Amino acid sequence: MGTAQKPTHATSRSSLSAAAWLSIYNALVNVFWSLLAFVPVSIFWYRVMERTWLSVFVVVSVIPFILPTSKLKYLELGANVRPYRKLGVPWVNKFVQHGRLINDLLRQKYPEYRRTISRARAPILVQNSYVQERFHWTVLLLFLLTSVYATAHGYLRWALLITVINVVYNLYPIWLQQYIRMRVDRLPSRKLNV
């Protein structure tokens, strides 16, 4: 039996906690970007692509997901954050899971909310970034093979559309994960604002 706790200001405003809202916002962002990417490409797969080729491309695309972390380091854009900043990678962080847009929405409901990563939790953030990077490398390869197929079969508009989707949905998120890891590695403070 526990003692009754006095409701906090945050709980009186909303029946959901900041953590619950964070999960909801992150899920919505994830669904939005995934639908934006996969719906057009799936239409191409369904209407145009031979199923045998699609099956081969799916199998080949799994290779990046099983690469060891040490090999992923060879795929990094640069050794420091400068090239990432030149390409606008920090700006992309506004519109992704745990990004600035979500943090700003949470601060409207919970003004005291700040997303900080303690040094003790930094390895978890780094590990999660590698999982996300592997996912996006896998999808990038699948979409790349699809756009090559589209080009080879004369579907140039489809190839262009899939390439643009690939850059937005996969390439920039890959660079963002690499950028986040560099920031985590290089900041000496105990807490990292992300």
Q: What is the 3 state secondary structure string of 139-154?
A: HHHHHHHHHHHHHHCC
pLDDT in tens, 67-116: 888 888 888 988 889 999 999 999 998 888 877 888 887 777 777 766 66
85-91: long-range contacts, CB 8 A cutoff, minimum separation 24: 87/175, 89/172, 89/175, 89/176, 89/179, 90/179
Determine the length of the chain: 194
Task: Answer whether 0.75 is exceeded by the pTM.
Answer: yes
118 in helix, strand or coil?
strand
Ranges in the chain, pLDDT < 50: 1-13, 190, 194
Residue 182 CA: distances (Å) to CA of 79, 119, 128, 135? 8, 14, 14, 19
